[in-house]
Every structure is written in structure tokens, then in C-alpha cells.
A and B are shown apart, each in its own frame.
Chain A
Amino acid sequence: MDQLTYWIEQAKPMPGAPGVCQLEVSVETWQQLARDIAADGGRLLALWVDCEPAMTVRVAFLTKSIVLVLALAVAESSAGYPGLADSFPAAARMQRAAADLCGVRADDFDTRPWLRHAAWPTRYFPLAPERQAFEKTEAVSDEYRFVRVTGDGVHEIPVGPVHAGIIEPGHFRFSIVGEKILKLEERLGYVHKGIEQRFTQMQLLVGHRLAARISGDSAVAYSWAYCQALEGMAQVVIPPRAAWLRALALECERIANHLGDLGALGNDAGLSFGLAQFSRLKELWLRAGEAAFAQRYLLDFIVPGGTGMDPSVNGLSGLVTCAGMVGATASEIRTIYDEHAGVRDRFTGAGIVTPELAARLGLTGLAGRASGQSFDLRVDLPCEPYTSLSVTKVWRSNGDVAARVEVRFDELSESLRLVEQIVQQLPDGHHLVDVAAPAAGTMGTGIIEGWRGAVFIALTAAKDGLIGRCHPHDPSWQNWPVLEHAVIGNIVPDFPLINKSFNLSYSGHDL
């Protein structure tokens, strides 16, 4: 038996998402296991710090068999811990964010702040239990050292935080020669609004409302992940109908987002026809969704114990009819995209991430599947009802904008098929059961494959039914750094198209 298998067998199961086990480790094991998991092709899922009851760094990995959570106790807040960026480059920003929020640093070389700008002083740690209040008027400097590129003819283009479109805010620093991009450096954190601290002021039984508002385009994925963790901790099994309705909602969310992106991508490639067609389809889809769920965007559909409402038979059949229409029209437009020389020219070869680079950097979710990282939780670590839905996994290995478009088209038809299947096989019965707040100290996790990738929630209960800690993790954390690589050598005017083909979340990342 090798070392990794040995440690996996030592890990204790955690409530919530299927196949999640936790292992308390020493500093030596922490580093060694991370290297072993990286060598074995494991993926970094999330890294965060819990300040209570004792300062603990936690990291979740997707290994070949399970999700393994490592917990490393950190003696005091000033002491560092070994960083994991060597084995998992995506860990770097997560470690910097944890340092900003909790005051515990990794020993990796990049110690610049990440989420903290000038909004709060360096001595204030929002998640530390003994944090001291500060005056809003206190001046805080915001000097961020961007990496400079020098040489003949190199110059910088700073973009944002306010962007020239209806987009979330963030800053991009391009170093360019002519119109060719030599380097892109992202600076995020502009929409940090204190979500993790806000969670600690809420009751466990209402936290799903905040979870749904972490990233509005992934409301179903987040609220399901939150409820999955909570229900596991409270030892509640939701009725089969509730699980199937949640999957229906998740697929509806995926369809709406893919329709929006496919239109926007056509538009960014200069074919406004695509935007007009797909934005119309999305509107029809949202209206069919509203008729079924009484909401266009499902921010309040999933609640602890099941779903907030039960769609009528008419609503569900309307959804199926609309799915048929959307599928037929989308495949017509797909032919037009495929045959349009201008669109092909812009899509093909733009923003390439090779499968090797994707594996090294940990590219995940939809963008990962376009670069040969064929991982989909609905297939590889399914929860109820995906265990009985037999989802067809979609992937490509070209890794360019065209591949990300193709993955979206294929996932769109698969999700439309799933909507029909779910409605046909929807079990009868209740859609909601009671959930009592779990005991203080209980910890659980939720993992749901949202449209962008795997959404992860780590939840801890405090006394009096309050949330002790809730750490939400968006797949954008892994994918934002890869975008910096994807644009190298491309021209600046292709950036909006490449960026859109990833369509990463700012709010879900900045928290």
C-alpha cells in the first residue's frame, strides 16, 4: 500500500457532500501529502483558514477516490505555515486571501495582500474572533506592487475597476508591445463585501439566502451546496422529490448561463445576430422558468430540507416544451456559427490553454473541460439524483475559445435533455422536510457542480443555532490565474472575447 492510500484510509468521513473525509495532519505530513496528491493527479478544491476554536488551515483536494480535507493546526496567528503553491499554483491567492482575513501567513514568496485594498487597516482581521473595531475615517494606504515588464517599446494599459460594459469590477494590468500582450496581471477584490464575516452573524437555517447571493449567476449551485452541508450536519435526508427538483433547478441555471454566454461570445466575435438570437432564447427560457418556479433567477428556491415551492404540472410541462424549442433553435444557430468565416477566425486559436498547462495550473470546471480536464462532479462524484441520471460528460482538448464555445453548446443540449428526463421521472411526494439546527461544533461540506465548475462550501455550527464559520469557494479562484496565461501572445482586442469565453465570477471570488 502506498503512502497516499494509507493516509486516505486514516481520514474520517465528514457530513454533507458524498465522499468527503478529513485528516488532521502535522506540518511534515501536510507538505508531503500535498506533493503526493499533486503527483497522483489530484486537484486543489479549496484552501481556507478557520480561526475558531483553534487557528487551523484547511485544504480540500479532489483525489482519485475521495475529497480529502487536510487540517493543520497553526500554533499562533503570527506563525506561518508551509505554503502549497509549489505543488498547486492556484493555492497562492487563496493563501494571500486567508492572510488578509485571518492573519495567518503561508511561507510562499508572494506576501502581497489580495482581498484587502484600502478598505480596512492591516491590523484588522475580519474573521479573527478578537478583532478590534476601527474608525472608518482611518487612512489606509493602498500601494500594490504590480510586476513590471521592461524593455524597448513595452508599455502598460491599466483597465478597470469600472469596465466599459455591464460587467463586474476588477483591475487588469496589461504589459504590451504594439498590440501583443506580453503579460496580464489581475488585481481583484473590488467587490469584497464581507460575506464570510456576515455569515457568522446569521442563523444556520437562513444562511442559504446569503449563500445564494455569493454569485447571482450560480445561486442554485451555492444554495444547494450550503443546504447539502447543513442537512448532512443535521442528519436530515431530503425527500427524493426535493433532490430531483434541485437538480432540475441546477440544470435550468446552467442552460440560462450558457445561452447568455453563447450570445455574448458571438457578439464579441462581431456577430451581433448571435447576441440577438441567444438573448431572445434566454428570455424565453427565463420566462418558462418563472412560470414553473415563480422566479426568473432561482435565488430563493432551495431551502434547508428541500425546496421552497413545488412547481405545478403545467409549469413543468411548459419548461419541457420550451426546452425542445430552445434546443432546436440553438442547433440552427450553431450551424450558422460553425459556417461563419469571421466567427471561426476569431474563435479558433484564440486564448489557448493546452491540456498540459491546464493540468499544471489546476484549470477546472467548464474551462477545464475545454482543455482536456474531463472532470465533472455530476459524473465523477455524484450526489442524489445524479447517481441515477447518467449525465454525459462533455470535453475537448483544443483549449481555445472555440473549444469553450463547443463545450457550452454540447452542455446546453445535455442539460436540455436532462430537464426533460427529470420532469418525466420526477418522484412524487413531499418537497420539504423540517431541519433542526445541528449541535455547536459540527462541521460539514457541500460540493455542487455549478455551470462554471465545482462550488464548495465548508460550514461549522456555533451555539444558539448560529453559523460559526462558512467558507464558500468559487471555481473562479482556480481559473482566474489561468486567464493570465491564456492571453499571452494574443492581441489586446481579443482580450474581451477570451475573457468572456472563461466568464469567471468576481463576486464569487472576492466575497
Chain B
Amino acid sequence: MWKLLRQTGCVGIVTEPPPGSDEALRIADSLQLQIKSIIGRALCIRQIDAGSCNGCELEIHALNNPVYNIEGLGIKFVASPRHADLLLVTGPVSRSMEVALRRTYEATPDPKLVVAIGDCGCTGGIFGENYASTGRVANVIPVNVAVPGCPPSPSRILAGILTAISSPRAITSVSDN
């Protein structure tokens, strides 16, 4: 136990400030306040891999690490779409996942938001559309924000999530910088 506490103490708090007041993304400095004003409570995300290569999932995982510390912003990943306010979807949507994705979308209570992650989620990417792939996420369910990148960095994914809750119902593309 002593070693565990020492290790925790030695590392300390490593959380970095979240991607800040980017005018283009209309994110104010006080994220906590802004999320509360729109959602009125913590934001719950359900992630769905609808056919990705798993690259985007690795970067989505990183949001939970102490450096990005997404839970510190009042945002958390949940296990059921019924608990979610926002769906974070990676693609391309395989035809075998099309029904599962639709059902997950329908199981999510309104009002809901959808953020498509990665080049494949935005456009179908290198896989495109074929007998087994329906391409981009927007071909299957409505999308509010699309974050390109292969894979996009954790801070771009976070910027995409924050953009979605700051300007709901509009399709926005978070530019890759």
C-alpha cells in the first residue's frame, strides 16, 4: 500500500487544460458551466465501433487517461445507449453493423447527439462503400459533428464532443490542424 500511495503521490496531478477557447469551435473557457447550461447535468457518451480498424478506439480510450481526464470535465462513457446523451461513432459502418447501429441510435433517448469520429466515420475513408461497407456514419444515422483524422488525436476528439454540445443539431466539421 505504501508503494501504491508513494507512486500516486510522486506522479501528482498531470491533467492538462482541455482544448480551450477556439472561436471557430465556439467553446467558452468554462467548460463545466457550458455543459451544465446545455445538458443540465453530466454528459454521458456511448461509444459504438461500427466497423473501424480499432485505431480511433485507441485514441478515444486516451480521453480517459489522467492527461486528458475527460471525467474531470463532467463527461463520462456509459455502458448502455439508454443512459447516453451522445453517441460517439467510428466507421466505416459495415453492413453487418448497420442494424446494430440503428437500434443503438433508437435506444438512445431524445434529445441526442451524434459525433462521427475519424476519416472513415466522416467519409468512409480508405474502405469506401462496397458490398460489405455502407461508408460514412451519416449514411446510416443523423450526424451532428464529424471529426476527421486517421486517427484524430484525443484533443481533436474532445474538441468534437465539445463542439457538439455547444452547437447542437448542426453538422459541423472540426478541421484537422
Q: Do A and B bind each other?
A: yes
Chain A residues engaging chain B, CB cutoff 8 angstroms: 117-120, 124, 126, 134, 161-162, 164-169, 189-195, 197-198, 209-210, 213-217, 219, 260, 273, 275-277, 279-280, 282-283, 286, 296-297, 299, 329, 332-333, 335-336, 339-340, 505-507, 510
Which residue, A162, A286, A329, has most C-beta atoms of chain B within 10 A? A162
Cβ-defined contact, B49 with A168, below 8 A? yes
Q: In the bound complex, how far is the Cα of B152 from the Cα of A297, in angstroms?
A: 10
Contact partners of A329 in chain B: CB under 8 A = 7
Which stretch in B21-29, B31-39, B130-138, B160-168 binds the other chain? Answer: B130-138
How long is the Cα–Cα vector from A119 to B51 in the complex, in angstroms?
13
Contacts of B44-85 to chain A: CB distance below 8 A: 47-62, 64-68, 77, 79-81
With both chains docked as a complex, state the minimum distance between the C-beta of A158 and any C-beta of chain B, in angstroms.
Answer: 12
Minimum C-beta distance from B29 to chain A (A): 24
Closest to B63 in A: A166
Cβ contact within 8 Å between B62 and A162: no
Residue of B50, B94, B130, B133 with most chain A CB atoms under a 10 A cut-off? B94
Q: B175 on the interface (CB 8 Å rule)? A: no
Complex contacts, A117 vs chain B, CB 8 Å: 95-96
Task: Contact check, A169 vs B49: say whether CB atoms are below 8 A apart.
Answer: yes
Which one of A192, A210, A296 contacts B132 once the chains associate, using CB atoms below 8 Å? A192
Q: Contact at B54–A168, with CB atoms within 8 Å?
A: yes
Q: Which residues of B in the span 94-149 have a Cβ within 8 Å of any Cβ on A?
A: 94-97, 99-100, 104, 125-128, 130-133
Contact A217–B54 (Cβ < 8 Å): yes
Chain A contacts for B60, CB-based, 8 A: 166
Q: Are B58 and A297 in contact (CB under 8 A)?
A: yes
| Interface Cβ pair total, 8 Å cutoff | 157
User: Is B67 in contact with A280, judged by CB distance below 8 angstroms?
Assistant: yes
B64 touches A279 (CB 8 A): yes
List 18 other contacts, CB 8 Å, given A166-B77, A273-B8, A277-B7. A119-B96, A119-B132, A166-B47, A168-B54, A169-B48, A169-B49, A190-B51, A193-B130, A216-B54, A216-B58, A217-B54, A219-B55, A279-B64, A280-B66, A283-B62, A332-B3, A507-B51, A507-B52
A428 to B105, CA, bound (A): 54
Tell me whether A198 and B52 are in contact (CB under 8 A).
Answer: no
Closest to A332 in B: B7
Residues on B with C-beta less than 8 A from A195 are 127
* Chain A contacts for B3, CB-based, 8 A: 332, 335-336, 339
Q: Known interface pairs A198-B128, A216-B151. Does A165 touch B7 (Cβ–Cβ under 8 Å)?
A: no
Which residue from chain B places its CB closest to the CB of A290 in the assembled complex? B153
Say whether B4 contacts A161, CB under 8 Å. no
Chain A residues in 8 Å Cβ range of B50: 169
Expressed in whole angstroms, the Cα–Cα distance for A124 and B131 within the complex equals 9
Given contacts A118-B96, A215-B53, contact A166 B104 (CB under 8 A): no
Q: Return the contact of B133 from the options A118, A134, A194, A283 (Cβ within 8 A).
A: A194
A215 to chain B, nearest CB (A): 6
- B94 contacts A283, C-beta separation under 8 Å: no
- How far is it, in angstroms, between the C-alpha of A214 and the C-alpha of B104 when the chains are bound? 25
Give the distance to chain B from A296, nearest Cβ to Cβ, in Å.
Answer: 7
Task: Output the nearest chain A residue to B8 by Cβ-Cβ distance.
Answer: A273
Q: Give 22 CB contacts A-B under 8 Å.
A: A117-B95, A117-B96, A118-B95, A161-B96, A165-B47, A166-B57, A169-B49, A190-B96, A193-B130, A193-B132, A198-B130, A216-B151, A217-B55, A260-B61, A279-B62, A280-B67, A296-B153, A297-B59, A299-B151, A332-B3, A335-B3, A340-B4
Interface size of B in residues (CB-CB distance below 8 Å): 50
From A165, A219, A276, A510, contact of B66 by CB (8 A): A276
The 10 A-B residue pairs with the shortest CB-CB distance, nearest first, are A216-B55, A119-B95, A164-B79, A279-B65, A194-B132, A216-B53, A194-B130, A193-B133, A117-B96, A216-B54
CB distance from A250 to the nearest CB of B (A): 16
Known contacts A169-B97, A216-B56: A191-B49 contact under CB 8 Å: yes
B71 to chain A, nearest CB (A): 11
Would you give the shortest CB distance from A331 to chain B, in whole angstroms? 11
Residues of B within 8 A of A340 (CB): 4
A510: chain B residues at CB < 8 Å are 94
Residues of chain A contacted by B79 (CB below 8 angstroms): 164-165
Taking a contact as CB atoms under 8 Å apart, the answer to whether A192 and B94 are in contact is yes
Task: Find the A residue at minimum CB distance from B69.
Answer: A276
> B124 — nearest CB in chain A belongs to which residue?
A193
CB distance from A195 to the nearest CB of B (A): 7
Contact check: which of B7, B61, B65, B150 meets A166 at CB < 8 Å?
B61
With both chains docked as a complex, state the minimum distance between the C-beta of B90 and any C-beta of chain A, in angstroms. Answer: 10
Let me know if B80 and A119 touch, CB within 8 A.
no
Give CA–CA (A209, B53) in the complex, Å. 12
| Cα distance A336–B11 in the bound complex, in angstroms | 15
**Beta-carbon contact of A273 and B4 below 8 Å:** yes
Cα(A507)–Cα(B127), bound, Å: 13
Contacts of B65 in A (CB 8 A): 276, 279-280, 282-283
> What residues on B are CB-neighbors of A126 within 8 Å?
131-132
**Contact status of A299 and B150, CB under 8 A, knowing A209-B126, A214-B53:** yes
A216 and B120 alpha carbons, distance in the complex (Å) = 12
For the complex, what is the distance from the CA of A126 to the CA of B132, rounded to whole Å? 9
